[in-house]
Structure 1
Amino acid sequence: MGAQQVTDRFTELYGTAPQGVWAAPGRVNLIGEHTDYNDGFVMPFALPHRTTAAVSPRTDGILRLHSADADAPVAELTVDALAPGTDRTWTAYPAGVVWALREAGHPVTGADIHLSSTVPAGAGLSSSAALEVVVALALNDLYGLGLDGGRLALLCRHAENAYVGAPVGIMDQTASACCEAGHALFLDTRDLTRRQIPFDLSAEGLRLLVVDTRVEHSHSQGEYGWRRAGCEKGAALLGVGALRDIPHSGLDAALARLGDEEEIRRLVRHVVTENARVRRVVDLLEAGDPRAIGPVLVEGHASLRDDFRVSCPELDLTVETALAAGALGARMTGGGFGGSAVVLAEETDVPAVTAAVREAFAAADLTAPRTFEAVPSEGARRLLP
Structure 2
Amino acid sequence: MTFQQVYGYEPAVRYSAPGRVNLIGEHTDYNDGYVLPFAIDRRTVASIGQRDDRLIRVASAFEPDAVHELSLDELDPSRMQGWSAYVFGIAWALREQAGADLSDKTGFDVFIESDVPVGAGLSSSAAIECGVALAFTDLWELDLDRKTLARVGQYSENHAVGAPTGIMDQSASLLGEQDAVVFLDCRTLDTAVVDLALEANGLEVLVIDTRVEHAHATGGYKARRDSCERGAQVLGVEALRDVSVDDLPRAQELLDDETFRRVRHIVTEDQRVLDTVRTLREQGPRAIGDLLVASHASMRDDFEISVPELDLAVSTALEHGAVGARMTGGGFGGAAIALVDREARDTITTAVTSAFAAAGYREPTVFTVHAAQGARRD
* Matching residue of 1:33: 26
Residues 1:94 and 2:87 are matched in the alignment: yes
* Matching residue of 1:10: 3
Paired with 2:114 and 2:355, the residues of 1 have a C-alpha distance of 29
1:245 to 239, 242, 246: 242
Aligned letter for 1:89? G
Paired with 1:142 and 1:17, the residues of 2 have a C-alpha distance of 16
Residues 1:81 and 2:78 are matched in the alignment: no
* Matching residue of 2:207: 210
* Matching residue of 1:3: none
Paired with 1:370 and 1:200, the residues of 2 have a C-alpha distance of 25
Residues 1:109 and 2:106 are matched in the alignment: yes
Paired with 2:125 and 2:168, the residues of 1 have a C-alpha distance of 12
State the TM-score, normalizing by the size of structure 1: 0.94
Superposed counterparts of 1:136-215, under 5 Å = 136-215=133-212
Q: Post-superposition shift, 1:26?
A: 0.2
Paired with 1:198 and 1:106, the residues of 2 have a C-alpha distance of 39
What do you get for the CA RMSD once the two structures are aligned?
1.3
Q: Deviations over 1:58-84 (max 9, x none)?
A: 342211001011243222222222222
Q: Post-superposition shift, 1:87?
A: 3.0
* Matching residue of 1:264: 259
1:323 to 318, 325, 343: 318
Q: Deviations over 1:319-368 (max 9, x none)?
A: 11111111121100000000000101222222221111000011112111
Aligned length: 374
1:276 to 258, 266, 271: 271
Paired with 1:287 and 1:321, the residues of 2 have a C-alpha distance of 29
* Matching residue of 1:133: 130
Give the conservation status (yes or no) of the 8 Å contact 1:56–1:142.
Answer: no
Residues 1:295 and 2:290 are matched in the alignment: yes
Give the conservation status (yes or no) of the 8 Å contact 2:80–2:89.
Answer: no
Paired with 2:16 and 2:100, the residues of 1 have a C-alpha distance of 25
Residues 1:55 and 2:48 are matched in the alignment: yes
The residue matched to 2:22 in structure 1 has which SS?
strand
Give the conservation status (yes or no) of the 8 Å contact 2:197–2:284.
Answer: no
Residues 1:344 and 2:339 are matched in the alignment: yes
Paired with 1:59 and 1:165, the residues of 2 have a C-alpha distance of 31
Q: Which moved more, 1:220-229 or 1:232-241?
A: 220-229
Q: Post-superposition shift, 1:169?
A: 0.2
Aligned letter for 1:189? C
Paired with 1:289 and 1:82, the residues of 2 have a C-alpha distance of 47
Q: Deviations over 1:210-234 (max 9, x none)?
A: 1111110000013111110110110
Paired with 1:106 and 1:297, the residues of 2 have a C-alpha distance of 44
Q: Deviations over 1:9-34 (max 9, x none)?
A: 32332233322111000000000000
2:309 to 308, 314, 317: 314
Aligned letter for 1:54? S
Paired with 2:120 and 2:79, the residues of 1 have a C-alpha distance of 25
Q: Post-superposition shift, 1:43?
A: 0.3
Give the conservation status (yes or no) of the 8 Å contact 1:85–1:164.
Answer: no
Q: Post-superposition shift, 1:262?
A: 1.1
The residue matched to 2:343 in structure 1 has which SS?
helix
Aligned letter for 2:46? A
Q: Post-superposition shift, 1:85?
A: 3.7
* Matching residue of 1:234: 231
Give the conservation status (yes or no) of the 8 Å contact 2:197–2:285.
Answer: no
2:374 to 355, 372, 379: 379
* Matching residue of 1:122: 119
Q: Deviations over 1:249-275 (max 9, x none)?
A: 2222232232xx111101100000000
Q: Post-superposition shift, 1:102?
A: 2.5
Q: Which moved more, 1:358-367 or 1:77-86?
A: 77-86
Q: Deviations over 1:264-308 (max 9, x none)?
A: 101100000000000111011001331111111010000000000
Aligned letter for 1:355? T
State the TM-score, normalizing by the size of structure 2: 0.96
Paired with 2:177 and 2:227, the residues of 1 have a C-alpha distance of 34
Q: Which moved more, 1:364-373 or 1:335-344?
A: 364-373
* Matching residue of 1:64: 57
The residue matched to 1:73 in structure 2 has which SS?
strand
Give the conservation status (yes or no) of the 8 Å contact 1:122–1:217.
Answer: yes
Paired with 1:72 and 1:302, the residues of 2 have a C-alpha distance of 44
Paired with 2:101 and 2:8, the residues of 1 have a C-alpha distance of 27
**% same residue:** 51
